Amino acid sequence: MKSIGTRMVCRMLIACLMMMQLPLAQAGMLGADQVASATTAQSDRAALMAAVQRAEVAGQLQSLGVEPGLARQRVAALTNDEAHQLAGKLETLPAGALTNGWGWAVLIIVGLVVYFNWK
């Protein structure tokens, strides 16, 4: 009797497994743009994380009322496009206030005009 019950259970399990649909594996070629976008997204996110973790940036964030941990979470939550856009802006921003010298030129010209007018 036990062998008949065991056979019945085995047959039911086999039938259930045969009716269950398993996902099929799909293989395909990856394009160079897909691989490049994945690596650039990782490098952009790493550059943003490095910028947020710098001491002077963390101090500035705290003075503005943003915790550095929250800023890191926000960087981690960015989409790949947002991270790429923000990293691009980060690379193009000047390191100082006015790096091209126009600020100093205007200051010197105004100083000379004031000096020669009041001389």
Q: Note the pLDDT tens digit of each residue in 12-53.
A: 888 887 877 777 777 788 777 777 777 788 888 888 888 888
Query: What gap in Å lies between CA 77 and CA 83, rounded to an integer?
Result: 9
Query: What gap in Å lies between CA 39 and CA 33, rounded to an integer?
Result: 10
Q: In this predicted structure, what is the pLDDT of residue 43?
A: 86
CA distances from 119 to 56, 105, 112 (A): 43, 21, 10
CA distances from 54 to 49, 71, 74, 97, 116 (A): 9, 12, 16, 18, 45
pTM higher than the cut 0.85: no
Looking at every residue in the chain, the average pLDDT score rounds to 80
User: Does the pLDDT of residue 98 top 70, yes or no?
Assistant: no
As a whole number, mean pLDDT of residues 89-95 equals 71
> Given phi > 0 = left and psi -120 to 50 = alpha, else beta, which region is 70?
alpha
As a whole number, mean pLDDT of residues 84-111 equals 73
Q: In this predicted structure, what is the pLDDT of residue 26?
A: 76
pLDDT tens-place string over residues 4-20: 888 888 888 888 878 77
